Chain A
Amino acid sequence: MGWKIKTATATLLVTSLALAAFAEGENVTINPPAEGSISRQDGFEAWQRIYEVTSHPRCSNCHVGADNIPMWSGPSYGVAGPHGMNINAGESRIGAEYLQCSACHTYREGDNDMPHAAPQVATNWRLPPVEAEWFGKSGVEICNQLRDPDRNGGRDFNEIAGHLDHDLILHWAWNPGGGREPAPFSLQEHVNDVLAWGVAGYPCENDE
């Protein structure tokens, strides 16, 4: 009994230390570099890593355009093609008009371990808004979309990082399970790159 209480106290201590360290974000540290500390060149290099993430199948398969048809692509699929079963998420982007994404991508707490099963997280599965179309788009197109408040949900770099901190579907991209290849880098590294890119002034390839 005694050791259990001690363990509990120690856990509490560790947890509160961790909370202090992670005060800026719940799942990642959101600690933007000081203003002026990131050159445009370094910011652009951060962007190129961001593009590796946004163009990865774990992200781009759902970041699809106005046909609202998610994709199946990536090393585990062979040839890229539309989501099987004639799936169409509709303008609602959650399948409300047809078959809800959550009919199969149901609520789940914990890891996805079953190959070929529908990925599941502890929130309603859905496609991102159509403005954030990434599938098949070039780096320069995605870069300009992500820095455009009219097409990124009105977010600055801190708010994009906050979105990455909170959205459980995004977290899944780095822990997809079932033999799927995770998105490159880590969630924390990706957040750090978003912050560095923003502090550097959101450089994109088409800037002079």
Chain B
Amino acid sequence: MKLLVNGDEREVDVEDDMPLLWVLRDELGLKGTKYGCGIAQCGACTVHMDGVAVRSCQVAAATAEGTDVVTIEGLGMPEALHAVQDAWIEHQVAQCGYCQSGQIMQAAALLEMHPEPSDDVIDIVMSGNLCRCGTYPRIRAAVKTAATKLQET
């Protein structure tokens, strides 16, 4: 089947029900998206499908066919970071880093919906993304900084 990932059309030979996360990591070598639980409990595998945040461990490859999939590798480039990535560096959000690509993808989707999110909105949207290192206060601060950056551009 053909998948559109980070703007590139990619041909993959996989079963229809293979989780998108497996396709991204094992077939396409995009290792930025992480496996945490495989059962929609942790958010580490969050990517965008047609601009909406989804847990890629729960999406069958066949369901992703025909959609626009964006992973952390496609969100921004080292020379042109997404505002969320920029804010993440500024706040030095990451501890071990394992959950962070999922956090960043979820935060980017959040700011598409809520350009000026309140603490409550941040807590509702981001609570499905677990961080065993407890970086939550820095995540909240960085989301606010990213919101300001996006408003300025």
Binding site for B on A (CB under 8 A): 85-88, 97-100, 102-108, 110, 114, 116-118, 120
Chain A at the B interface: SS class: loop
**Which residue of chain A has its CB nearest to the CB of B123?**
A86
Interface check B53, CB cutoff 8 A? yes
Note all chain A residues with C-beta closer than 8 A to B127: 85-87
Q: A86-B123, A116-B39, A120-B58 are in contact. Are A103 and B128 (CB under 8 A)?
A: yes
Chain B residue numbers with a CB within 8 Å of A100 are 52-54
Q: Answer whether residue B40 sits at the interface, using C-beta atoms and an 8 A cutoff.
A: yes
A-B pairs, 8 with minimum CB distance: A86-B127, A104-B40, A117-B39, A118-B40, A85-B128, A106-B58, A98-B124, A85-B127
Q: Which residues of A contact B39 (CB under 8 A)?
A: 114, 116-118
Tell me whether A106 and B125 are in contact in the complex, defined as CB-CB below 8 angstroms, given that A114-B39, A117-B39, A117-B40 are known contacts: no
Could you tell me the distance in whole angstroms from the C-beta of A76 to the nearest C-beta in chain B?
14
Hey, which chain A residues are within 8 Å of B38, CB to CB? 117
Please tell me if the beta carbons of A103 and B52 are within 8 angstroms of each other in the complex: yes
B60 part of interface (Cβ distance < 8 Å): yes
Q: Is B121 close to A, CB under 8 A?
A: yes
- Collect the chain B residues with CB atoms within 8 Å of residue A116's CB: 39, 41
* CB<8 Å pairs between A and B, sample of 16: A86-B123, A86-B128, A98-B125, A99-B124, A100-B53, A100-B54, A102-B54, A103-B52, A103-B54, A104-B40, A104-B58, A106-B54, A114-B39, A116-B39, A117-B38, A117-B39
Question: Within 8 Å CB of A106, what residues of B?
Answer: 54-55, 58-60, 63
Specify which chain A residues have a CB less than 8 angstroms from the CB of B124 in the assembled complex: 86-88, 98-99
Most buried by B among A86, A88, A103, A114: A103
Q: Is B113 positioned at the interface, with any CB of A under 8 Å from its CB?
A: yes
Give the residues from 40 to 62 in chain B that come closer than 8 angstroms, CB to CB, to chain A: 40-41, 46, 52-55, 58-60
B residues near A97, Cβ cutoff 8 Å = 113
CB distance from A126 to the nearest CB of B (A): 14
A-contact 0/1 string along B111-138, CB 8 Å cutoff: 0010000000101110110000000000
| Chain B residues near A117 (CB-CB < 8 A) | 38-40, 58
Q: How far is the CA of A104 from the CA of B54 in the complex (A)?
A: 7
**In the bound complex, how far is the Cα of B41 from the Cα of A87, in angstroms?**
12
CB distance from A111 to the nearest CB of B (A): 12
* Whole-angstrom distance between the Cβ of B27 and the nearest chain A Cβ: 19
CA distance A110 to B54 in the complex (A): 20
